[in-house]
Structure formats: structure tokens, C-alpha cells
């Protein structure tokens, strides 16, 4: 394509984009990267047809990069806006803070490693695996030290689990606050872990009969710790060294992390370096000052480990508005439960007046996210979208009002209330609460 | 001004006049690692803003205490008025003992002990200064001086005797010294407390030096850093203030957390006695002890009861009414009346800008 034709084609594409985006760009909160959205519909720009067909594209005529030019591949430059983002005002310093998974841009059930949300308390520890050790001591027959290579010689397991921060949706207790599913629900990711059973590793050291609790500790600058009851440790916990087939990312605990399926993310100690076996909980800062749930009577719940049944529609959502106008609309979302599998997801398009079962597609694993869809014909009238998950123990995701009636608005953690997205006639989508 | 400082000041003037300050001999990559100690309070690089401390772009050649909009100590401003400019020498002197070089600086940092670390740090900071008088060496030549020693991979033990423990005979026995090196946790029953002691007044000194810049002089918290004191009686309020005094159930958690993770960016720098002292001071700030002479030690530690200890109870979410509904969830005509929007995120306008 000559330069002139190229410029013209780009200009046409831009006009189409602008038409679709004008109405919501003024909201200033929406995704960047116009190029990433692509043409909204294949409307011919002239009588003869579309330039993208009538004109030759560069990639049709010019040879591309050969193999080996991208030894570790990265997404298309047109997907550059699909990134973790943080909320600067939320914490005092980015070294002890959180970034959020771009749920609105993802599909299926697996979160790509590079966009899994982060929560660090002393920054990312950059650990040389050759200098990393895992120690087990306390109420054991033989205190032991393992290298990563030692650990890989135990029998391995592969499991897909969600990791959700207990504070996910915590900013929404007082009402709709953040205008994007990335920020309201993005403290979750779901990957396949390869690791070894914590039970096998503990048994190697030999647990004494009086042992009831573990203290697990990270090797980072915060030396993060949590107490874990022995029953859970012996049930389904893993020490993982791979995620989605490759080594854990440094920001996810390289070279090894704890996997505590269905329980709050803070317990999944990253950069795991020490396990102490004892007979009572240690009452660490993250299980007393933090991760306890303040109730309206001034008392607080503690050891609220399990994540509740929960779901959210990821598209449409404020960062993924409806650009195509009325007609076919794919409503898509995620559902999960710390109790096991999700058995059903209902979707309402009228703010909870009426519900219809959504279609769960893709694998259904225990304590993993499930992908659901509802395919509708949109008549172009406003939508008040909600989703409601039900898990295999028959727990039903509650409304935010039901939660607030019991817990007030100061418990920070474990907000699994039903989310409402308002889709206006022009497709602009907003985080709201409804009557 | 002390004789020592005069000497330094004269040396600085001389260096500035001669215009040929000694060149730094540091390694930029190593310096970036050293900077981790600083970055809780200082930013450098593109778009760096003032945080707890001033931003450090174009530091070399900057007059001390001269960044507009940053609230310096009087001492630092005076330093600049005396003619101190930041260069290799002045920064090296300041960073080795901040409170000696600028008596009264509010920089809560004990200093960097190793000259090599200072050289490396200055080489790193020099890369953000247009007038940097540093000449960093390449990392190739400095590999031998890397602070972290390369760890040898264990040589493969072919056909060695298997240990007898466990099912798979993996791992090796931990030595007592190794366990002692890592096992510093403290439980509510006092298990894990080291021998040691410290008074409220001693704790105040530690607190002012290491803690006050983030947590405030009286534990009130600067910016969004945690509030440590006060808030008693506020837990049922619209905006509860959860502090050590108003919320934390166990004193052991304070000791454990401080020795584990504080001061932010300088974890493990405090001695056992200093941790006891600062713990005692936090009790004092929270009116849990009222005597400035009070000394906290491993001997009396368990006698301290925290005011909110009784107000925690086990997870009882399963008893909440919304989880007790045994009936099938409603599918049709579940709510009366037309749907109305009651709350809107848009109105608050606190969502981050997402342009790239």
C-alpha cells in the first residue's frame, strides 16, 4: 500500500472508531488504545466497499519477522492496553500495594501470567533459586531444609485454582465507587499450578501428634506470615513452582509459593521459605490487625479464611461498553466459590426483577473460576445487568444490601455481593446500585 | 558548627571551586539495588515526585533544601543557605551519617555503612542528573565486587547414601544454627521472645529516628501510612480508627511485626532491645502504659493485656440469614416496582485514568 492509501485507510478506521467511541470518551475513565478496539462494524466507507479489503495491507505483501526474533513472545502491540493497573490513592506506597487484573479484556478461565493481579507488602523479591531454601521445623521429628530441586522430586500435581484477595470488592462496601470491573473485582486470578502436596512435604519431616497449626513465611522484605490450621494443610494445599506451565513469575512468588485452594489470597505465601509446625495460631499482624472483619457492634470476626460464592459480569462492563448497538449481545462473566464448584449462574438484565440461567462453558474445576455466557438480542433499551452464582453446596450469592444488613460497611473483606452494571442506550456502561 | 563539619564544609567549598570533584567509582546496577533502601521515601526517574522525601532527579549540583514545594527541615534549608550543593563528597558524607552531616534533618535513615554501597548508590543517582559528576563503571568490571555472593549449585550427589527420614528421603536435616537464624516469630503466649528490654524513653528515640516520618510523631500516621495510636472507643463509629491501642488483640503481634517488617525498607535493622523499646513507646502512645520510665522486657511482656483482646470471635458467616435460605432463589417478579439507580460510581470520580 502506498503512503497515501495507508493514510486514507487509517483515517477511515479512525472515523469509524470515533463514531462509536465519542459518546463514552467524554467519561474519561475508559480504556486507551483506540487501535485495540478495532472497527466496530464492517461498514463500507464508499460505494465500492471497504478499504481494508479493496486496498492491500502491509502484512499481506511484506514479509514479517522470522522465528527467534521474539524468543519470549508478547501480545500484539494492539493489545498494549491490556495490563494490570493500580489505584494510586488506595495505598501509601506502590511497594506495599495492589495492582488489578484486567478482567474485562480476558475470556475463558485462565488468567495469563503477565496480568495476574499483584499484592506485595515489601515489593517484589527477586530471588536466585540456587540461594533459596525451604525450611520446616517446630513440632516435627526431623527439621528439614529443601532446595527447589529437592521439592521437584516429590510427586507432582496440576490444579487450576482461583486466588482472590479477601479485600476484592472491598472498596464497594459503601456503594458503587470504582467504575471498572478491573478495579471492583480485579483482585483475582486463576491459573494452573504445578506443585507438590504440602502434606507430602510435611510428612517427610514427620508431624508430631500435638501439631495443630503451621506458620508459613515468605522470604521477601515483609517476611509475610500467616497461621494455617493443620486440617487445611493436610487437605488440599500445594507448594507450587509453576503457573500455567512455566516458572512462577517473580511477582507471584518465584521460585515457590503456597497454594491454599478456596481461601483468601493473603494466606498463599509467596517466596515461601519457612514452615514452622506448632500447637496454636501465631496471631500475626495479617490475622489480627488485618484480615479480621469488623462488625457493627464493634467486635470482629477472625480466621474468615474461605472465599464466598461470587460472580461478576466482565463484559459488558464500564471498561468494556457495548459498541455495536442493538441486536446480538454476548454477556460474559466469571463465577467462583471457595466451597467447591459453581453449579449455576443466573443473570438478570432488569436489576434483579427477573433471572435466567446462564450457560457455563469451559472446564469446571473445584475452587476455580467458571466462565458463563448469556447470549441475548438487545433491544437497545437500558440494561441493569446482574449475575448471581450458586455453588455446589447450594450457597447463593447475596445482594450487597443483604450483606450490609448484617455486616454494616466497615468489615472491608469478603464482599461477595451482587454487582450491577447499568448499560445506557448508547452502550456506555456504569457501576451502579439499584433499588 | 562543629569542627568536623567546618572541615567538611571547607572541603566542599574547595572541591566546588576547583571544579574537579573526585569521580565516583560506583556501579549503576549495584546502586539500583542499594536504592531499594531509599525508595520507600524517595522517587527518582521520569515523572518522579516528592514523597516522604524530595525527588532525586538532577540531584547533583542541586543546592541542599532547594526543591520547591517540599517541606524540608530548617536544618536542611540552612545547609543550603550556607552554600552546600549536593555532589559526590557532600552526598557521601550525608549518606554515611545523615544526622551528623545535617543535624536536625528529618530524614529518618541511620545511614549507609559501606563506602562501596554509597559509591554505587551515587553512580545510580548520577544517571538521573544532567550535571552528574559521576563516571559509573560498567557492571562487567564490577562483577567481582557484587555484594551478593554467587551461590554455588549443590554438586550432584550421585549414589550417595539416602537419608533415613520420611517416605521419599528428600531434603536434609536443618541445623540448630539455621533454625535460629530464621525463627524469630513471637506468639501471644510469649514463645519466641528473645531476652531483652527497653524503656518508653528509649523507644521514643527509636521511634523518632525510624518510624515518625511515616507514622507521625504521635502515631497519627502521615498520608495513608497506618495510624498506630488513638481510636479507642471508635470501633462502632461511622469511621472506625483501628490502631494498636483500639484494635490489636495481642502485644506479641506488635513485637513480631516490628522485628519482621519494620522500619519499612530497612527490615531487621533494629536490635532486640530497640524492638522492646519501641514496643514500650507504642504502648505509651496508646495510653496502655503511662509511665515514661516503664521498661518492657521478656520478663514482664506477658503481663500486658491489650484493651480490645476480648472482642474477636470465630468466623460465623454460615449463620448469616442470606446463607440460611434453603429455598430456591427467586427467578420471576422478584422485586416490586421499576428499577431505579440509587448509587453511581461516576459521581465519585475516583477511578484511575486509563489512557496509556
Distance (Å, whole) CA B330 – CA B338:
17
Asked whether A217 and A274 are in contact (CB, 8 A), the reply is: yes
Residues A317 and A279 in one domain: no
Q: Tell which B residues from 334 to 353 touch A, by Cβ distance under 8 Å.
A: 334-335, 337, 339-346, 348, 350-353
Instruction: Let me know if residue A86 belongs to a domain.
Output: no
**Which of A61, A79, A97 is where one domain is finished?**
A79
Q: Residue A304 corresponds to which cell in the numbers above?
A: 474468615
Distance from CA of A13 to the nearest CA of B (A): 20
Residues A329 and A285 in one domain: no
The minimum CA-CA distance between B131 and chain A, rounded to whole Å, is: 29
pLDDT tens, A75-118?
A: 999 999 999 999 988 888 888 999 999 999 999 999 999 999 99
Average pLDDT over residues A318-339: 98
Q: B71 to chain A nearest CA, in Å?
A: 18
Output the tens digit of pLDDT for each of chain B's 356 residues.
444 444 444 444 444 433 333 445 788 888 888 888 888 788 898 888 888 889 899 898 888 898 888 888 888 888 888 888 888 888 888 888 888 888 888 887 878 888 888 888 998 888 888 754 444 444 444 444 444 444 555 555 556 788 999 999 999 999 999 999 999 999 999 999 999 999 999 999 999 999 999 999 999 999 899 999 999 999 999 999 999 999 999 999 999 999 999 999 999 999 999 999 999 999 999 999 999 999 999 999 999 999 999 999 999 999 998 887 667 899 999 999 999 999 999 888 889 888 65
Q: Contact at 8 Å (CB) between A104 and A181? A: yes
Q: Is the pLDDT of residue A33 over 70?
A: no
CB contact under 8 A, A353 and B333: yes
Question: Are residues A59 and A145 located together in one domain of the fold?
Answer: no
What is the distance between the alpha carbons of residues A246 and A194, in angstroms, rounded to a whole number? 9
Q: What angle do CA B129, B131, B132 make, to 5 degrees?
A: 60
Residues 6+ apart with CB under 8 A from A290: A266
- Whether A101 maps to a domain, the answer reads no
Residue A89 lies in a domain: no
Residues B82/B57, Cβ–Cβ less than 8 Å: no
- Reference B64, options B34, B105, B14, B124; nearest CA is B105
Task: Give the CATH number for residue A285.
Answer: 3.90.420.10
Q: Which domain holds residue A222?
A: 113-301
**Residue B290 CB-density burial (10 A; 0-12 exposed, 13-18 middle, 19+ buried):** exposed
- Do residues A340 and A235 touch, judged by C-beta distance below 8 A? no
Residue of A nearest to B156 (CA): A149
* Residue A6 confidence (pLDDT): 45
Of A176, A306, A354, the CB nearest to B344: A176
Do the domain assignments include residue A404?
A: yes
- Do A23 and A156 belong to one domain? no
Residue B76: name the closest of B51, B49, B106, B100 by CA: B106
Is B354 in the A-facing interface, judged by CB distances under 8 Å? yes
Q: Which of B204, B256, B212, B206 is nearest to B41 (CA)?
A: B212
Percent of chain A with pLDDT over 90: 87
Q: What are phi and psi of B121, to 5 degrees?
A: -60, -45
Tell me if B179 and A217 make a contact (CB, 8 A cut-off): no
Sign of the CA dihedral A24, A27, A28, A30?
negative
| Residue B153 pLDDT | 52
Q: Can you list the domains of chain B with their CATH numbers?
A: 3-139 (1.10.760.10), 197-311 (1.10.760.10)
The interface predicted TM-score (ipTM) is: 0.89
Shared domain for A340 and A222, answered yes or no, is: no
What pLDDT does residue A39 have? 60
B261 touches chain A (CB under 8 A): yes
- pLDDT at B36 (0 to 100): 82
Name which of A223, A281, A354, A399 to mutate to probe chain B: the one with the most chain B Cβ atoms within 10 A of its Cβ: A223
In sequence order, which residues have a C-beta less than 8 Å from that of residue A373 and are 6 or more positions away?
A330, A331, A332, A358, A359, A361
How far does Cα B254 stand from its chain's mean position?
Answer: 15
CB contacts of B330 in chain A (<8 Å) are: 355
For residue A94, the 8-state DSSP code is T
Task: Please report, for the domain that includes residue A355, its CATH number.
Answer: 2.60.40.650
Nearest CA in chain A to B308: A299
End-of-domain residue from the set A28, A60, A79? A79
Q: Is residue A90 part of a domain?
A: no
Instruction: Check B257 against A284: CB less than 8 A apart.
Output: yes
Give the residue from chain B lying closest to A389, CA to CA: B329
Quick one: B190 exposed, middle or buried, by C-beta within 10 A (0-12, 13-18, 19+)?
middle
Closest residue by Cα to residue B105 from B204, B24, B6, B212: B212
Question: B114-119: long-range contacts (C-beta < 8 A, 24 or more apart)?
Answer: B116/B26, B116/B145, B116/B147, B117/B30, B117/B34, B117/B147, B118/B26, B118/B34, B118/B91, B118/B92, B119/B24, B119/B25, B119/B26, B119/B27, B119/B31, B119/B92
* Shortest CA distance from A36: residue in chain B: B356
Q: Are A183 and A331 within one domain? A: no
Whether A242 and A352 map to the same domain: the answer is no
Q: What is the DSSP letter of B229?
A: S
Q: In this structure, are A224 and A326 located in the same domain?
A: no
Q: Which of B151, B317, B334 sits opposite A354 (nearest CB)?
A: B334
A398 shares contact with chain B (CB less than 8 Å): yes
Domain boundary residue among A284, A301, A318? A301
Nearest CB partner across the interface for A283, out of B182, B253, B325: B253
Tell me whether B311 touches chain A (CB under 8 Å): yes
Same domain, A183 and A53: no
Neighbours of A111 (CB within 10 A): 23
Which pLDDT score is estimated for B71?
84
Same domain as A159, residue A58: no
> Residue B313: closest CA among chain A residues belongs to which residue?
A301
Contact residues, A window 213-272, toward B, CB-based 8 Å cutoff: 215, 217, 221-223, 225
Chain B residue closest in CA terms to A282: B187
- Inside any domain, residue A59: yes
- Determine how many CB atoms are found less than 10 A away from the CB of residue B310: 10
Span of A14-18, A62-66, B264-268 with lowest mean pLDDT: A14-18
Whose CA is closest to A262, among A356, A338, A200, A186?
A338
Question: What is the domain count for chain A?
Answer: 3
- Provide the terminal-to-terminal Cα distance of chain B, rounded to the nearest Å: 51
**Looking at the structure, do residues A155 and A55 belong to the same domain, yes or no?**
no
Least trusted range by pLDDT, from A11-20, A56-65, B80-89: A11-20
Interface A-B, measured as beta-carbon pairs within 8 A, has a size of 280
* Beta bridge pairs of residue B295: B199
Cβ-defined contact of B332 to A355 (cutoff 8 Å): yes
Rounded distance, CA B115 to CA B121, Å?
Answer: 10
Residue A176 covered by a domain: yes
By three-state DSSP, how is residue A267 classified?
helix
Task: Answer yes or no: do A339 and A293 share one domain.
Answer: no
DSSP B54-96: ---TT-TTPBTT--TT----HHHHHHHHTT-B--HHHHHHHHH
Asked if the structure places residue A18 within a domain, the reply is yes
pLDDT at res. B10: 45
Amino acid at each position: 500500500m502506498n503512503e497515501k492509501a495507508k493514510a486514507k485507510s487509517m483515517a477511515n478506521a479512525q472515523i469509524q472508531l470515533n463514531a462509536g467511541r465519542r459518546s463514552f470518551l467524554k467519561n474519561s475513565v475508559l480504556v486507551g488504545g483506540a487501535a485495540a478496539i478495532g472497527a466496530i462494524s464492517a461498514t463500507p466507507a464508499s460505494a465500492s466497499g471497504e478499504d481494508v479489503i479493496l486496498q492491500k495491507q502491509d502484512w499481506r505483501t511484506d514479509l514479517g519477522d522470522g522465528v527467534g526474533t521474539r524468543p519470549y513472545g508478547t501480545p500484539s502491540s494492539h493489545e498494549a492496553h491490556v495490563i494490570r493497573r493500580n489505584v494510586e490513592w488506595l495505598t501509601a506506597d506502590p511497594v506495599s500495594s495492589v495492582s488489578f487484573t484486567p478482567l474485562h479484556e480476558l475470556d475463558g478461565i485462565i488468567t495469563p501470567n503477565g496480568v495476574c493481579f499483584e499484592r506485595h507488602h515489601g515489593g517484589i523479591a527477586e530471588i536466585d533459586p540456587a540461594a533459596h531454601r525451604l525450611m520446616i521445623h517446630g513440632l516435627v521429628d526431623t527439621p528439614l531444609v529443601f532446595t527447589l530441586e529437592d521439592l521437584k522430586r516429590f510427586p507432582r500435581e496440576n490444579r487450576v485454582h482461583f486466588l482472590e484477595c479477601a479485600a476484592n470488592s472491598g472498596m464497594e462496601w459503601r456503594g458503587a465507587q470504582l467504575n471498572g470491573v478491573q478495579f471492583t473485582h480485579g483482585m483475582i486470578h486463576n491459573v494452573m499450578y504445578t506443585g507438590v502436596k504440602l502434606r507430602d512435604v510435611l510428612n517427610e519431616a514427620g508431624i508430631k501428634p500435638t501439631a495443630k497449626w503451621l506458620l508459613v513465611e515468605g522470604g521477601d522484605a515483609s517476611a509475610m506470615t500467616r497461621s494455617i490450621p493443620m486440617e487445611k494443610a493436610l487437605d488440599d494445599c500445594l507448594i507450587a513452582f509453576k503457573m500455567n506451565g512455566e516458572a512462577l513469575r517473580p511477582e507471584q512468588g518465584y521460585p515457590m509459593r503456597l497454594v491454599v485452594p478456596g481461601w483468601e489470597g493473603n494466606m498463599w505465601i509467596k517466596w515461601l521459605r519457612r514452615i514452622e509446625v506448632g500447637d496454636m495460631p501465631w496471631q500475626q499482624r495479617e490475622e489480627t490487625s488485618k484480615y479480621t472483619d469488623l462488625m457493627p457492634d464493634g467486635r470482629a470476626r477472625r480466621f474468615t479464611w474461605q472465599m464466598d460464592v461470587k460472580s461478576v459480569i466482565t463484559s459488558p462492563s464500564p471498561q468494556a461498553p457495548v459498541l455495536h448497538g442493538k441486536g446480538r449481545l454476548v454477556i460474559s462473566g466469571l463465577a467462583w466459590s471457595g466451597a467447591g464448584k459453581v453449579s449455576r449462574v443466573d443473570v438478570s438484565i432488569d436489576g434483579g426483577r427477573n433471572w435466567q440461567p446462564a450457560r457455563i462453558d469451559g472446564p469446571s474445576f473445584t475452587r476455580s473460576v467458571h466462565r458463563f455466557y448469556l447470549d441475548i438480542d438487545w433491544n437497545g433499551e437500558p440494561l441493569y445487568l446482574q449475575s448471581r452464582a450458586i455453588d455446589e453446596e447450594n450457597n447463593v450469592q447475596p445482594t450487597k444490601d443483604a450483606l450490609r444488613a448484617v455486616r454494616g460497611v466497615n468489615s472491608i473483606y469478603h464482599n461477595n455481593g451482587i454487582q450491577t452494571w447499568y448499560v445506557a442506550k448508547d452502550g456506555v456502561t456504569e457501576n451502579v446500585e439499584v433499588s | 558548627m562543629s569542627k568536623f563539619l567546618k572541615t567538611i564544609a571547607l572541603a566542599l567549598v574547595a572541591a566546588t571551586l576547583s571544579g574537579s570533584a573526585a569521580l565516583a567509582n560506583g556501579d549503576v546496577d549495584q546502586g539500583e539495588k542499594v536504592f531499594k533502601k531509599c525508595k520507600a521515601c524517595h522517587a527518582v526517574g521520569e515523572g518522579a515526585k516528592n514523597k516522604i522525601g524530595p525527588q532525586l532527579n538532577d540531584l547533583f549540583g542541586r543546592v541542599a533544601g532547594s526543591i520547591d514545594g517540599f517541606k524540608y527541615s530548617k536544618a536542611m534549608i540552612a545547609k543550603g543557605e550556607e552554600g552546600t550543593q549536593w555532589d559526590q563528597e557532600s552526598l557521601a558524607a550525608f549518606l554515611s551519617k545523615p544526622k551528623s552531616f545535617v543535624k536536625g534533618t528529618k530524614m529518618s535513615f541511620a545511614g549507609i555503612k559501606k563506602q562501596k554501597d554509597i559509591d554505587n548508590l551515587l553512580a545510580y543517582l548520577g544517571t538521573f542528573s544532567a550535571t552528574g559528576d559521576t563516571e559509573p563503571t560498567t557492571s562487567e568490571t564490577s562483577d567481582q565486587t557484587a555484594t551478593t555472593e554467587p551461590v554455588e549449585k549443590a554438586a550432584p550427589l550421585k549414589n550417595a547414601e539416602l537419608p533415613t527420614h520420611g517416605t521419599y528421603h528428600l531434603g536434609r536435616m536443618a541445623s540448630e544454627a539455621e533454625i535460629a537464624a530464621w525463627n524469630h516469630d513471637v506468639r501471644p503466649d510469649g514463645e519466641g521472645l528473645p531476652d531483652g528490654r527497653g524503656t518508653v524513653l528509649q523507644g521514643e528515640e527509636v521511634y523518632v529516628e525510624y518510624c515518625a516520618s511515616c507514622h507521625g510523631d504521635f502515631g497519627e500516621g502521615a498520608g495513608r501510612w497506618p495510624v498506630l495510636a488513638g481510636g479507642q472507643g471508635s470501633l462502632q463509629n461511622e469511621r472506625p480508627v483501628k490502631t494498636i491501642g483500639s484494635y490489636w488483640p495481642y502485644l506479641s503481634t506488635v513485637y513480631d511485626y516490628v522485628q519482621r517488617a519494620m522500619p519499612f525498607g530497612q527490615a531487621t535493622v533494629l536490635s532486640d532491645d530497640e524492638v522492646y523499646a519501641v514496643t514500650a513507646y507504642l504502648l505509651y502512645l496508646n495510653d496502655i502504659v503511662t509511665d515514661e520510665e516503664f521498661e518492657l522486657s521478656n520478663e514482664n511482656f506477658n503481663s500486658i493485656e491489650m484493651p480490645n483482646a476480648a472482642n474477636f470471635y470465630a468466623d460465623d458467616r454460615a449463620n448469616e440469614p442470606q446463607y440460611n435460605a434453603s429455598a430456591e432463589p427467586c427467578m420471576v417478579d422478584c422485586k416490586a416496582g421499576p428499577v431505579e439507580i440509587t448509587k453511581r460510581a461516576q459521581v465519585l470520580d475516583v477511578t484511575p485514568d486509563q489512557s496509556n
